Structure 1
Amino acid sequence: MVHQLILVVMAPIFWVQGKHVRRSIPCLKEAEGPRRGKSNKVAGRQGKCVSIQKPLRILLLGDSAAAGVGAEHQSQALSGQIISALHHQFHVEWQLIAKTGFTTKQILQSALLHPKQMYDVVVVSAGVNDVTRPTSAATWIKQQQMLTNTLRSHFSCQHIILNEIPPMEVFPSLPHPLRWYLGSKAKAFNKKLTKWVATQPDCEIVNIGGPLDVVHMATDGFHPGPIIYQQWGQAVAQLIKSRWSS
């Protein structure tokens, strides 16, 4: 409610600043490379494949960050970093469905368009595009709930990993007071998400840990760079290992 009131009062300023941001931020492409595949089995001694590798099916859904904007190739992006961190322990079959600009509602729609299929783990990158729109935290959390319920029924997944919205108050491409407003709104979204996820045994929130180092962001000052994708991918992989290694 507070953010809705601020938006009403500050709308003219935010509109001018938003228009400037859209003109000034360079439009980076989504990462090149395959969006589905299987990890190579790790070879043991004398070229024999390690038989202890556990099969794992992973679906990645989301926005421009899931699509790898800020990295040149998917191997440097979130999908590649997750697979790289898991392939010694798991034989991973994975797929990525993501598009720049997708909101949580659009991610839900894209999931429904995907054929019903079984996945063990679904990783979701969502929230930034919801924060930049006039969506309230209450509405967003309802959309998150609808999305996770759809993932359970559509993909029979047992583990859903949701991302914490990054601290938008430090994004160098955003001017003040727009930067402050979006950062405050993102914190409100995260607070509701954390509270709700705590009641869902099959859901977890990935947190890279530590402050965001803007030096490692992409050249547009809005998306992750390869180093942040690596940290993010390793954090996701650690959650997966903790639940699936036994």
Structure 2
Amino acid sequence: MLHNIILILLAPLLVLQGRYVRRVTPKLPEAAGDRDGSLGEGRRLRVLVVGDSAAAGVGVDTQSQALSGCLSRELAKQYRVDWLLIAQSGNTTEDLIQTLKQLEPCEFDVVLSSLGVNDVLSPVRVGRWKERQAVLIQLLRSQFAVKHILLTHVPPMEQFPALPQPLRWCLGQRAKAFNTRLVELSLADDDCELVNIEQALERQDMAVDGFHPGGRIYQVWGENAAGLIVRRAELLG
């Protein structure tokens, strides 16, 4: 209740700060380079990476430095990796659902999802966001036959240098609420796991816009996700 009262009182200031951030924050491009490929040798592993600007590699120059590149390189140490990236800056969970529905059905062994920041910035309610995440999970199963789904925690937005206070605090609190629902989803579904890279979010490791990951964060993210994928693959044989 107190949190809601604070938000109501701060609402005019938060709106002004939001407009200011949009105006002054540099608009970085998505990483250049291929969005699919194959590398490595051994047992075949089909990997799908989906999501928003972070999944698309905003903050680094090329896809080899971004999430898909870091993830596929790490997995290629043990597998032959066939990977595909479907991501776009600005994507909310609903945006991604609509994009995936337009694709032809195919099969992947594992999917890594990066979503939540744009939903936090939108008016969507936390409960509604959880419902859309559940729809996304079911769609990944039905359309891509995925058996292992990695959901990335919404990053701690209270640490984003681009955001002034109190907007930074408010968005951080909202991100934490979203993550609570993400934990609930993962605990209720044996096919889902969470990837948490909060420990990697140091100010000096973020992109120049103070909003997106830099190269080191993508590397830690990819390595952490790869570790979860390898462990599950070994358990399933």
Normalising TM by the smaller chain, what interval?
A: over 0.9
Q: What is the alpha-carbon distance in structure 1 between the residues aligned to residue 4 and residue 157 of structure 2?
A: 18
CA distance in 1, matches of 2:200, 2:31: 25
**Residue 77 (structure 1) aligned with residue 66 (structure 2):** yes
Provide the residue aligned with 1:147 in structure 2. 136
Provide closer, same or farther for how the CA distance between residues 6 and 97 of structure 1 changes in structure 2, counting only shifts above 3 A.
farther
Residue 13 of structure 1 is matched in structure 2 by: 13
Aligned pair partner of 2:127 in 138, 148, 167: 138
1:3–1:185 Cα contact (<8 Å) kept: no
| RMSD between aligned residues | 1.5
Query: Does structure 1 conserve the Cα–Cα contact (< 8 Å) formed by 2:152 and 2:196?
Result: yes
Measure the CA separation in 2 of the matches of 1:6 and 1:98. Answer: 35
Structure 1 92/146 Cα, relative in aligned 2: closer, same or farther at 3 Å? Answer: same
CA distance in 2 between partners of 1:6 and 1:129 (Å): 22
2:34 corresponds in structure 1 to 34
What TM-score comes out, normalization by structure 2 length? Answer: 0.95
Question: Structure 2 regions of 5+ residues with no counterpart?
Answer: none
Of residues 203, 212, 223, the one that matches 1:234 is 223
Map of 2:149 onto structure 1 = 160
Aligned-pair identity (%): 48
**Amino acid across the alignment from 2:82:** E
- Out of 72, 76, 90, the residue aligned to residue 87 of structure 1 is 76
Note if 1:125 corresponds to 2:114.
yes
Q: Does 1:199 align with 2:216?
A: no
After superposition, where does 1:56-67 map in structure 2 within 5 Å?
Answer: 56-67=45-56
The equivalent of 1:45 in structure 2 is none
Count of matched residue positions in the alignment of Structure 1 and Structure 2: 235
Match of 2:201 among 208, 212, 230: 212
Q: Deviations over 1:110-141 (max 9, x none)?
A: 11112100111011100000001112211110
For 2:181 and 2:187, locate their aligned partners in 1 and report how far apart those are by CA, in whole Å. Answer: 10
Q: Kindly state the Cα deviation for residue 9 of structure 1 after the two structures are TM-superposed.
A: 3.6
Q: Work out the CA distance in 1 between the residues paired with 2:60 and 2:5.
A: 37
Amino acid at match of 1:13: L
Structure 2 contact 40–78 (Cα < 8 Å) conserved? no
The two structures have a TM-score, normalised by structure 1, of 0.92
1:4-40 deviation line (CA, Å, top 9, x unaligned): 6654443211111011000111000000000011114
Residues 146-171 of structure 1: CA deviation (Å, up to 9, x unaligned): 10011100101100000001110010
Which whole-Å deviations, capped at 9, do the CAs of 1:158-204 have from their partners, x for residues lacking one? 00000001110010000011000000000011011112211100000
For residue 157 of structure 1, give the secondary structure of its aligned residue in structure 2: coil
